[in-house]
Each structure stands twice: as structure tokens, then as C-alpha cells.
A = this chain, B = another copy of it.
Amino acid sequence: MRFFSDNAAAVCPEVMSALAAANRPDIPYDGDAWSARLDTAFSQLFETEVRAIWVTTGTAANALALAELCPPYGGIVCHRDAHIQLDECGAPEFYTHGAKLLLADGEGAKLSPAGVAAVLDAIGSEVHRVRPAALSITNGTEYGLVYTPAEVAALGNLCRARGLGFHLDGARFANAVAALGCSPADLSWRAGVDALSFGFTKNGGLCTEVLILFGGRDIEPSLFRRKRGGHLLSKGRYLATQLLAMLEDDLWLRNARTANRHAARIAAAAGDWLAYPVEINEVFLKIGSDQVRTLRDKGFDFYDWVPGEVRLVTAWDSDPAAIEALAVALEEL
């Protein structure tokens, strides 16, 4: 019973059906009818005019977003444990052509205006330091916490005041929206976000993510960078159709709710073992090596995280029986 990551999940049936339905010759790259519908579809979802750019990975979406917001001689404030810092092998540096990540602190990989301001204030404006140009946060965070719309907006205000672009890594944006019960708009552009990497692969897609640009931003540089990065798929319609299938009848939201519900069940059973509140579909346990062994002996697989902590992730397709079994096992710990 595997709780390694939601990116180990299968592709949900609706997406598979959409791929089959699209399977005929068509116009290559993003010239097809499915790709053409994306701007409208996502504009409806976000209640404002947006531009939507499909890519195959969250790393690509993040890197393109950061390249849009930060020049090569700029700096990007992010949490010390951010995915863009720890898990993308320097993709932000590659796509921005060498911008520097400026690391900030905060419990549970969550940043506060004060934490961000502290980083900025230490830099000043001289030419010997890179110029802070963007802020990037992850919602839900790498430790499964969510920023509320008000918390995002506070950071958005700081960005405006300091002249920073604001990027949101939304690998689990669906889970955050599901957890908060708010609108996607409240958690993004209304809170000052300029660019959102909106993840669909973990949440039921096969290989599709979307970069959303808000505020009438010129999309062309990102289109050139996508092509140049080797991310303009020749049969792009098979990406677009995945996205449209995920939007259809809020499949993205239902899948996220399912994953969150599974995690909540585990959290309820884990009680005091929890390292962080469980707000989306990630559970971090502070348990000893004996207990880790006990769980693994019972057939539960998961990652060791930092020393003394393990991470378990649920997904849209987690087996309810496995969830229940895990809950029982945790209660027995």
C-alpha cells in the first residue's frame, strides 16, 4: 500500500476517455480546437481573462513562470524548502538564465510577509547583489499547509509595494482550493498572483499542467520560451484535451476533495503523531524508527522525510481499503 506521492497515481478514466476521443489527425502544436478553448475555459474558471499555456510538467510551468517574472540578474524569494529550490535540479536557474533563489524561512514551508520582507531588507538596491524581482510560494505547501486567500493577499500586497512579481506554484492548487472552499480567483489573481502553475498530473492527468498568466500579461515571451525549452508538443491537442476533461464538471475539484478526504481520515487516526496540521492530501508524521518499521512491516510504503519525520501522500485514486487499514494501524501505534 503505497503512500509515496500523488504523482504515482494513475490517470483518471475521464482523461483516458478524452485522449481516445481526440485520437484523430489534427492540426499540430497548439493550433487545434482543444488548445484554442483553453483560454476561455480557464478564464471562466478564474472569473477573469487569463492566458493558459499547457506544458507537461510542473517544473516546466514553474520555470516558465519565473522566467516571465524575473530577469537573469534578478532574485526570486522563496521558502528554503520550496520545490523550486530543492526538487527541480536548478530548472528556475536554467530558464531564468541564472537568477538567484533568495531563501526565506517559515514553519511548514509557509512564508509570511515579515519573513519575505526580512530577506528583501537585507539586500538593498545596489548592483553588487541580484535585484529581488519575484516572490514564489507554493499552495498547498510542501508540508501540506494552505495559505488562505487573506494570507496570499497579504503577500500580494507586499509584492506590489516592493515591485515583485508574484508566482504561485500550484502543484496542489486543486487540493488547496478544495480545502479552503474558496474560489480559484480568491486564491490567485484577486490576491495579487501574476502567474500560477496549476497542476493536473498529480490530480488525475497523464502529463499535463498549465501555466496561467493573469492581468493581461503578454503571453508571447512565454510561448517562445516554451518552444525553446522543447515543451511545444507537436501533438499538443492530447495535452489540451486532458485539461478540458479535468475542468469538465469540476473533475479537478472532485478528485482533490477525494484525496484530501483520505488524508483527513489518516490525520484523524494519527492524532499526536502529526508533525503539521493536515490541510490537504499530505500527512507528515513525527514517529520513531520502531514505529516506522511497524508500519512498513504491515505493508505501508512512504518516504522518510527529514530525520524523525515521514511523509504519506494520498491521491484521487487511493484505495479506500488501504486508507482504512492505515488509519487502523496508526491508531494501534
How many residues belonging to A are interface residues under a CB distance threshold of 8 Å?
71
Q: Which B residues are CB-close (under 8 A) to A315?
A: 25
Residues 75-102 (chain A) with a chain B CB within 8 angstroms: 86-91, 93-101
Q: Is the CB of B98 within 8 A of A224?
A: no
Q: Which B residues are CB-close (under 8 A) to A56?
A: 56, 207, 230-231, 233
Q: Which of B63, B71, B206, B234 contacts A235 (CB 8 A)?
A: B206
Residue of B nearest to A57 (CB): B230
Residue A254 interfacial (CB < 8 Å): no
Which of A23, A63, A93, A223 has most B Cβ within 10 Å?
Answer: A93
Q: Is the CB of A228 within 8 A of B89?
A: yes
Further pairs besides A10-B23, A57-B232, A93-B99: 6, Cβ < 8 Å: A86-B128, A90-B99, A91-B229, A93-B100, A94-B229, A100-B101
Residues of A at the B interface (CB closer than 8 Å) are: 2, 4-5, 7-11, 16, 19-20, 23-29, 55-61, 63, 71-73, 86-91, 93-101, 127-131, 201-202, 206-207, 221, 223-235, 238-239, 315, 317
